[in-house]
Structure 1
Amino acid sequence: MMLMTLAVFTKMSVLDNLIELLQGQICNVQRGFLQYHFTSACTRW
């Protein structure tokens, strides 16, 4: 039971990391094109 829970948590955190990575890349692209314009999604990057 513990192993299953751990696996689920690990899978979720990996997914979260991937999403964070993707958002960071999208924000980098947006910064490249619109250096004067920062969207709210990019404030932490």
Structure 2
Amino acid sequence: MSRIVLINGKKQTKLSVFNRLTQFGDGLFETCLVKEGRLLLWNEHFARLE
């Protein structure tokens, strides 16, 4: 399984301890279902984020 981390919309491989995310716990975690290579219910997920 590959893991993708986005910080401010950019892929990251490291996370600084000085980042606001680690200092204050700011952030968002979203789980999406992928079936046969297609992301299911993306419109509903995205609508919640707007």
Assess same fold via TM > 0.5: no
TM-score (norm 1): 0.24
Structure number with the higher helix fraction is: 1
Greater C-alpha radius of gyration: 1
